[in-house]
């Protein structure tokens, strides 16, 4: 069970994200995983010209193969939709074969241009099911913060517990200095990481020398803005619990 869950945090090289309304740096479909997205149009005047999900994998490659949105088979990497003024829509994304990547949610005008800051309110959930389709776990994931380059986040590692960290740079070649602090704030390890694209790993894979039993924090300091998502995973007695961990921007 542990091995099947760690697939969420495989390394992939993904090109930096563009300016979208919402960026979710980690997406898994298939192999028991699906994603639920609820989008509300906060405008009281009109519906979107056109909005879209865009799924990417690899080095900014299009999503490979067939996935589904609300049961509808999709072979392209974008799914277009419209929502009436102050309306809300729910989308369930799934697939048969496990694939990981990231998701962008954006607004397209009538000329086909992707525009920032549409009137979206968004909820995003990871869902994990067993082989018979019964629910194992569900956790809400916030969209990544924009225009932030420095963060602090709590981390834990012990038997059956680990913390996963996903990062996507806003521009290629961003360097991130990663500092691991123990429970008393003392520095355990500091190392620099060149972000050429998307990176997603458990903290003990990302940073060398994390003790097998550890509670502390990680400081992230990027040379430019980075998108960050963090999940705490707890596996016990065959039960999996994924929990979104807040990341706090610091000056």
For the stretch 6-65, pLDDT in tens is 333 333 333 333 344 677 888 889 999 999 999 888 877 665 556 787 776 644 566 778
Residue 182 sits in which domain range?
150-249
CB 117 within 8 A of CB 21: yes
Question: pLDDT tens-digit profile of 86-140?
Answer: 889 999 999 998 887 778 788 776 677 776 666 778 888 988 888 888 888 888 8
Instruction: Please tell me whether residues 131 and 166 are part of one structural domain.
Output: no
Instruction: Please tell me whether residues 179 and 220 are part of one structural domain.
Output: yes
How many structural domains are present in the chain?
A: 2
**Would residue 168 count as lying in a domain?**
yes
Instruction: Please tell me whether residues 118 and 211 are part of one structural domain.
Output: no
Instruction: Please tell me whether residues 17 and 86 are part of one structural domain.
Output: yes
CB 229 within 8 A of CB 240: no
What mean pLDDT is reported for the chain? 81
CB 228 within 8 A of CB 200: no
Instruction: Please tell me whether residues 82 and 131 are part of one structural domain.
Output: yes
Asked which of 95, 111, 140 is the last residue of a domain, the reply is: 140
Across 60-88, b (16+ Cβ under 10 Å) vs e yields beebeeebbbeeeebeebebeeebeeeee
CATH number, domain with residue 217: 2.60.290.11
**Would residue 115 count as lying in a domain?**
yes
Distance of CA 185 to the CA centre of its chain: 27
Asked which of 120, 140, 160 is the last residue of a domain, the reply is: 140
Instruction: Please tell me whether residues 205 and 110 are part of one structural domain.
Output: no
**3-state secondary structure labels for all residues of 126-164:** EEEECCCCCEEEEEECCCCCCCCCEEEEEEEEECCEEEE
């Amino acid at each position: 069970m542990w091995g099947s869950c760690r697939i969420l945090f495989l390394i992939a090289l993904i090109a930096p994200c563009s300016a979208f309304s919402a960026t979710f740096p980690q997406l898994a479909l298939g192999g028991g995983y699906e994603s639920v997205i609820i989008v509300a149009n906060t405008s009281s005047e009109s519906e979107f010209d056109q909005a879209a999900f865009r799924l990417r994998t690899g080095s900014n490659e299009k999503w490979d193969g067939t996935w589904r949105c609300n049961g509808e088979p999709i072979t392209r990497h974008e799914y277009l939709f419209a929502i009436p003024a102050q309306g809300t829509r729910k989308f369930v994304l799934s697939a048969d074969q496990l694939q990981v990547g990231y998701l962008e949610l954006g607004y397209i005008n009538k000329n086909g241009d992707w525009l920032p800051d549409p009137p979206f309110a968004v909820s995003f959930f990871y869902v994990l099911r067993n082989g018979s389709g019964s629910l194992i776990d569900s956790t809400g994931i916030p969209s990544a913060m924009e225009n932030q380059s420095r963060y602090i986040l709590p981390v834990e590692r012990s038997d059956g517990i680990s913390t996963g960290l996903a990062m996507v740079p806003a521009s290629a070649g961003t360097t991130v200095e990663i500092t691991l602090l123990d429970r008393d704030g003392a520095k355990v390890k500091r190392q620099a990481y060149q972000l050429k694209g998307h990176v997603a790993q458990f903290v003990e894979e990302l940073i060398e020398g994390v003790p097998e039993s550890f509670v502390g924090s990680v400081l992230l300091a990027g040379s430019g803005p980075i998108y960050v998502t963090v999940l705490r995973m707890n596996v016990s007695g065959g039960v999996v619990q994924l929990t979104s961990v807040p990341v706090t921007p610091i000056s």
